[in-house]
Each structure stands twice: as C-alpha cells, then as structure tokens.
Amino acid sequence: MNDEAIIEEPREDEVRGLDRDRVEAIRDAVEARDPERLNDLIEPLHPADIADLLEQIGGQERAELLSLWSREIDGDILSELDESIREEVIAALPPEVLSEAVRELESDDVVDILEDLEEPQQEIILDALEDADRVAVEQAMSYPEYSAGRLMQRETVVAPEHWTVGDAIDFLRSEDWLPDQFYHVILVDPRMKPVGNVTLGRLLSSKREVKLRDIAEESFRTIRATEDEADVAYLFNQYHLISAPVVDGDDRLVGVITIDDAMNVLDEEHEEDILRLAGVGEGSLSDNWFETTKQRFPWLFVNLLTAILASLVIGLFEGSISRIVALAVLMPIVASQGGNAGTQGLTVAVRALATRSLTYSNVGRVIGREIAQGVANGVFFGLIMGAISYIWFGQPMLGVVIGLAMIINLFAAALAGILIPVGLEKLGFDPALSSGAFVTTVTDVVGFFAFLWLATLILL
C-alpha cells in the first residue's frame, strides 16, 4: 500500500473514471505502440475503470493493448473484469504476471475468478498459489456453485468471547496479517462456534477493561456455507448486515461474508431478472454478434411458436375475416393491449417474488387486486376502443364486439399475469425466465379468439 504522499495530492485531480478524452488518448497510444504513454494514461485509473476500458474496446484493440501492457495487469484488475473477457485476458498474460496477480488476491476473489475458467486455466492459477492459499481455494471450490461457501472469504478476525477490549486491541496490533477490509471481530466459543459480533467502532470507543461480550451487537446472524448466494444477498439487504460469519454443518466458523460481496450478488440477481424478463439469456456487451445471435435465438423461437399458435386461432375464422376485413384491421389491437397488460402484471409479480414481498400472507389480496384492475382497465379501454371502432367503420355492433373482447382479454391478462409467475415459482421454476412466454400465449390466444368469435357470433 502506498503510505506516502496520499494527503499531499490535490484531491480534485483524482481520476474519477473513464472519460472520452482519456479513452481516445489510450487508443492513440495503442496505435502508436507507445507503452510508456499508455502506462501514463492507464496507471492513474482505478482497477475497476481499467477493467471497464478492457471491456469497452474491441477485441482487436484489446489484444494490442494487452501486448503492450499485460505486465501491469494485477489481481485487482482481473477481479473486476467481466467473465466474458477474463479468459481472453488471462490467456494473454505472461505466466509470472498471472502468478503475481493471483497471489495478491484474497481467497474469495481467487475463487470468483476460478469459477468461470476452463480446467487448464484453473490448473495454471491453482499452481501459482502458495500451498496454504491453494488448499483454501480448493476447499471453497468444494462448496456448491452460487453458495455462501464460494462467496465467503476464509480470512476471519476472531476473539474468544471472554476477552476484553484491551486483549482484542493488543491481539490486532500483534498480528502481522489482517484482511484488507473487516468490520467486526467475531466472538467464538472454544469450539470455534461464532456467538457474537463486535463492531470495530464499538471496540474503538470502549475502555480497555470492557468485556467484548458486553459490547456485542444486539442483532447477530450466522450464515450456513451451503446457503444459496441469493438468500445471502437477501439477508444482507433485509437486515442491513455489514458482515456475517459463515458456519459449516457443525456450526463452526469457516469464513465471513462482507456487504460488498452481497451487493455484487444483489446486482447480478437484478441484472439476471431484467434480462430474463426480456428473453435475453446470459450475455455481455463485449460478446460478438454471433454469440449475441445465439443468445437471442431461443426466446425468439419460443415466441415464434406462440405466435404460430395465435395464427392458428386466427385461421379458424378465415371465413369471417374474408367477409369483414375490418376484423383483420382491429384484431391486433386486442391482442396487443392484452400482451402489455399481462407484461405489466407479471413484471410486478416477478419482482415481488424476487424481493419476497409477495408471500402467502398477501397473495390472495394481490390476485384480487390484479383482477379488479384488469376488469377496470378492460372496461375503460373497451369503451374507448368501442367508440373508436364505431366511428372508424361506422358499425355500432363492431364497437360492441371489440369492447367486449377488450374486457375479456384484459381480464385474462390480469389473471395470467399473476397466476403464471406465482405458479411457476411454486413449481420451482424461475418465474422471470418463462412467465413472459406463457402470459403472451394466453393474451394472444384469448385476444384473437374472443374478438373473432364474438364477431362471428354477433356480426355474421
């Protein structure tokens, strides 16, 4: 750590991220193959910004930049890199740079990098670690993917529960090595079972003779190593945790999870939900067009099937359409309103399930509300659309038909928008991933059928 000259530097000059000018200058330096200028431009950046830079430039430029600058890549930059290009960057590093980079990281960060790599690259990184770190990382990798065990850092700061503040401070001062960031001293019993957390602020503000147990935090939660990382993120968010001890099946302390890890998971979960709702699978902005085409394809294919199903419904009424062409003109409106209303409802439901605010206690009330809302908006838009159709085509009964179809479809949309995500969740599927296809199928089929069937019944 750079202990000098921190205070003296004018803080206003701090580089606050990538701006357009700097990126342009970096590009010029790469093109001029000028490693010194390149280093002057990149070096003042935060590792997170350097990672962004590598993600945002094109593949060709990235390769050229790395060929000039790969010796400066450190562990922090690797940690910040998006997994979609991490493999590529790691492959470009000289072996000694890679060894140096992973050695300086804490075990949870090494695990995070390792998870997304192929076997041969994993081996290279494991070989680069010192023995103790290697064992720690391999143990972490033995926990299931997306579990607290993978997320935790194994380096913990513990104190026996009978210690005083003075004991703890003396111990901390005598330790050569402490984690980069820690927020609690974890109190443990003789079997290494965590029994309480003392915040560092409390430790610092208490007299030396005070017992640690007397200043432990009121609220204290441990996390099982096998717990799902999404549940961990929920706990941190719900209970405003800063750090929490992780225990094994025997309740013994095996690590600690800190809020920045939880914030990361929360961020990823959100991102996943948004992209899944839109039918975009895994994917990153640095993926090329071919990968992107493959990612977008499955959902478009599912959508094609539902669209064909809807067309089959329309096909049932070819005779009616050939007699009243206005039906063909108006029918997409009914389906489209239904699709949008359904998407509104399902998005609210998916989010409420994800944040655990839609539970057993209120699901009945929310279903009722959605139905009432569907009927209300259905009546509203039924009236509007009925009037418009009457004016447009001069047939009052056509207005009645589309009005009724609109009410029916917005009712169906409301029902599908809440029942489908709730049902999928109950069956153990991710509602974000598949609700959209089901709901759209319902609103397309019901929309076209209700409109064309009513028209056939009433108008012909």
Q: Please, which residue, 329 or 457, has the CB nearer to a second copy? A: 329
- Calpha distance 102→215 (Å, rounded): 37
Q: Considering the complex, what minimum distance in angstroms separates the CB of residue 100 from a second copy?
A: 18
Nearest alpha-carbon partner for 118 in 97, 91, 79: 91
Please report whether residue 460 would count as binding a second copy according to CB under 8 A.
no
Please report whether residue 192 would count as binding a second copy according to CB under 8 A.
no
Scan residues 353-392 and list those touching a second copy (CB under 8 A): 355-362, 365-366, 368-370, 372-373, 376-377, 380-381, 384-385, 388
Q: Where are the beta strands (DSSP E) in 203-295?
A: 223-224, 243-247, 253-258
Q: Considering the complex, what minimum distance in angstroms separates the CB of residue 327 from a second copy?
A: 8
Interface with a second copy (CB under 8 A), residue from 340, 387, 457, 458: 340
- Calpha distance 454→457 (Å, rounded): 5
Scan residues 52-91 and list those touching a second copy (CB under 8 A): 52-53, 55-58
Please report whether residue 99 would count as binding a second copy according to CB under 8 A.
no
CB under 8 A: which stretch of 111-119, 127-135, 137-145, 180-188 binds a second copy? Answer: 180-188
Q: Please, which residue, 67 or 322, has the CB nearer to a second copy? A: 322
- Alpha-carbon Rg of the chain, whole angstroms? 30
Please report whether residue 402 would count as binding a second copy according to CB under 8 A.
no
What is the bridge-based pairing of β-strands 253-258 and 243-247? antiparallel
Q: Considering the complex, what minimum distance in angstroms separates the CB of residue 127 from a second copy?
A: 28
Q: Please, which residue, 128 or 417, has the CB nearer to a second copy? A: 417
- Calpha distance 45→200 (Å, rounded): 30
Spell out, one character per residue from 312 to 331, where the chain touches a second copy: x when CB under 8 A holds, - when not: --xx--x--xx--xxxxxxx
CB proximity list for 124: less than 8 A, separation 6 or greater: 95, 98
Spell out, one character per residue from 209 to 248, where the chain touches a second copy: x when CB under 8 A holds, - when not: ----xxxxxxxxxx-------------xxxxx-x------
Buried b (16+ CB within 10 A) or exposed e, 421-448: bbebbeeeebbbbbbbbbbbbbbbbbbb
Q: Please, which residue, 17 or 396, has the CB nearer to a second copy? A: 17
Please report whether residue 426 would count as binding a second copy according to CB under 8 A.
no
# binding residues, a second copy (CB under 8 A): 146
Please report whether residue 44 would count as binding a second copy according to CB under 8 A.
no
CB proximity list for 324: less than 8 A, separation 6 or greater: 398, 455, 459, 460
Residue 208 and residue 224 in contact, taking contact as beta carbons nearer than 8 Å: no
Scan residues 249-308 and list those touching a second copy (CB under 8 A): 259-260, 263, 266-267, 270-271, 273-275, 277-280, 283, 285-290, 292-293, 296-297, 299-301, 303-304, 306-308
Q: Please, which residue, 128 or 317, has the CB nearer to a second copy? A: 317
**Number of Cβ atoms within 10 Å of the Cβ of 174:** 7
What is the bridge-based pairing of β-strands 253-258 and 158-160? unpaired
Nearest alpha-carbon partner for 247 in 225, 277, 227: 225
| Phi, psi (degrees; rounded to nearest 5) at 58 | -75, 170
Q: Considering the complex, what minimum distance in angstroms separates the CB of residue 50 from a second copy?
A: 12
Q: Please, which residue, 131 or 301, has the CB nearer to a second copy? A: 301
Interface with a second copy (CB under 8 A), residue from 66, 111, 129, 203: 203
| Phi, psi (degrees; rounded to nearest 5) at 82 | -65, 140
CB under 8 A: which stretch of 108-116, 121-129, 147-155, 352-360 binds a second copy? Answer: 352-360
Q: Where are the beta strands (DSSP E) in 211-331?
A: 223-224, 243-247, 253-258
Q: Please, which residue, 98 or 168, has the CB nearer to a second copy? A: 168
